[in-house]
Amino acid sequence: MADLQSSSQGIPTIAARMDRLPITRNHLWLTVAIGLGLFFDIYEIFLAGVLSTVLGEDFHLSASLLPLLLSSAFLGMFIGALTIGRLADLLGRRRAFLLSLGIYSAFSLLAAFSVGPVMLVVTRFSAGIGIGAEPPVSDTYLGDLLPPKNRGRYTAWAYTLSFFGVPAAGFLAHWLVPLAPFGLEGWRWMFLIGALGAVIVFALRTALPESPRWLEAAGRTDEADAVVRRFEARAMAEGKALPQPDTRRLVADSEMAALRNLFVRPYLRRTVMMSVFQVLQTWGYYGFGTLVPLVLVAKGFPVVQSLLFSAVTFVGYPIGSVLSIPIVERVERKFLVMGSGIVMAVLGLAFGFASATWAILLFGFLYTAVSNLFSNAHHIYLAEVFPTKLRGTGASGTYSLSRLSSAVIPFVLVPLLHHGGPGMLYAVVAGAMVGVAVDIGFLGPRTTGRALESVNSAPSAQTANSSTRGAGDGSSGLPAHSRGSTQRRLGRCSSSDRSRP
């Protein structure tokens, strides 16, 4: 194994120069551009749900074809998260999310002109491949470019912008489904809007810079330096001070990037925890939103009215995301994920058994609001429980399981709705959320306010690490034969590295 080493000759790294930057208009612009792309990821996820009743009538979908339609995009997203997400490390973040939006836009356009259920399933699957990589690639890009002190807040704002895609899908369906503008059915316009919107975001994102961290890692140091200089020039043009960059940053051991480290102690426990979590949480999060129109029809509401009710409850998604911003740093995230998951279980049961209109709207709105407190908390938590060199791999690999689980949901919950009713459906959803709380409660570490190297220390080394908690993340999870020597090296470096942001 290579030793941990400090930056050579006191020259600040690209990362150090980016991390010392104040927030500028460039940061705000990239946050908005990424948030708009995420908007269409959320829009796509909820699109099939809000249109499920309409498409079922137009295409005379059988009980077996409707779940296939609902799950087709999620199956594509699973593949996209694994493949295009990997390309972000090989070809660059910018190329990956442009490819993602390009594929999504092309196949959403084709979906608008589907002549039958088979074509619609195929185009939805293909569009899912494109949009499936959007969240992990966007998270990586924002993490690369945003300063540490503001990374969580502005990432949360990007996701808050994205969650307006949920009520947008609901209200557009309510307005367009009864109409046929220019002789084209309203549901087809829903796919056209997604395709054209993605083209606009594609054009906006072509102006975004490549990640300077990725450029430096790829050996393109001159290009990386040029990107950082543009950010520095913007900060000075706005009259903002530029602190001296930290020249004492540690460079982590390259062997820590080996995939096998996710499946040995201490990270095997984390990998299992997050895998179970991602499989279960999607039943509560997407299981509610994507099936609400079907549930309301099962309760006896007409299709158009069910779409209106869905849109009203979906307003809770962006509101819940906004409310989460001041909370996620004040409550231990492990307990925040557990607590909000249990509240979702209770509200889901209340929604499932509600019959009065006011109760349906109230519990639906509260459920969606709490679910985005849950969502933002677990997205932050996911990035905290893996070491730096494996953070992207661990996060994206386990995250992809949520897409696969989402593809299974319609095949289980739609028949359950038809045979057992809304109450039985949400009893299963509630059981999944209780499983989430148990999983995180028993296997999850505490993370809020702790240094990442402290969160990611091997159990046997935690005591030794207590005196070096300012050291870099690369110290965690080392095999036993090298842990002792690494601790001695970290002991020599810890005093200088405590100044790291």
Is the separation of the CB atoms in 395 and 387 below 8 Å? Answer: no
Residue 139 CA from chain centroid, whole number: 7
> What average pLDDT does this structure show over 238-248?
80
Beta carbons of 501 and 416 less than 8 angstroms apart = no
**Predicted confidence band at 62 (pLDDT cuts at 50, 70, 90)?**
low
Please state which of the ranges 94-103, 232-241, 304-313 shows the lowest mean pLDDT: 304-313
Q: What is the pLDDT of residues 25-44, one digit of tens each?
A: 999 999 999 999 888 888 87
The amino acid sitting at 191 is F
Between 125 and 391, the more confident residue is 125
Residue 2 phi/psi, 5° resolution?
A: -75, 145
Section 50-64 average pLDDT: 67
> What pLDDT shows up at residue 53?
65
With cut-offs at 50, 70 and 90, classify the pLDDT of residue 281. very high
Give the type of residue at 379: H
Higher pLDDT, 280 or 149: 280
The Cα–Cα gap between 386 and 384 comes to 6
| pLDDT confidence bin for 435, thresholds 50/70/90 | very high
Most confident stretch, 10-19, 317-326, 449-458: 317-326
pLDDT for residue 253 is more than 70: no
The predicted pLDDT at position 107 comes to 92
Q: What angle do CA 43, 45, 48 make, to 5 degrees?
A: 95
What are the pLDDT digits (tens) for 444-490?
888 775 534 456 654 433 433 333 333 333 333 333 333 343 333 33
Query: Residue 176 above 70 pLDDT?
Result: yes
Burial class (CB in 10 A: 0-12, 13-18, 19+), 411: middle
Looking at residue 459, its pLDDT comes to 45
Q: Between residues 318 and 255, which one has the greater pLDDT?
A: 318
pLDDT band at 498 (very low <50, low <70, confident <90, very high): very low
What is the Cα–Cα distance from 47 to 153, expressed in whole angstroms?
A: 28
Burial of 219 (0-12, 13-18, 19+ CB in 10 A): exposed
What is the number of other CB atoms lying within 10 angstroms of the CB of residue 245?
A: 19
> In the prediction, which pLDDT does 424 show?
84
How does residue 103 score in pLDDT terms, banded at 50, 70 and 90? very high
Q: What is the pTM of this model?
A: 0.73
- Residue-wise pLDDT tens digits, 396-420: 778 888 888 877 887 888 788 878 8
Overall average pLDDT of the 235-252 stretch: 74
Q: Which residues contact 349 (CB under 8 A, 6 or more apart)?
A: 423, 426, 427, 430
Whether 290 has a pLDDT exceeding 70, the answer reads no
Summary mean pLDDT of the chain: 77
What span, in angstroms and rounded, lies between the C-alpha atoms of 488 and 494?
A: 10
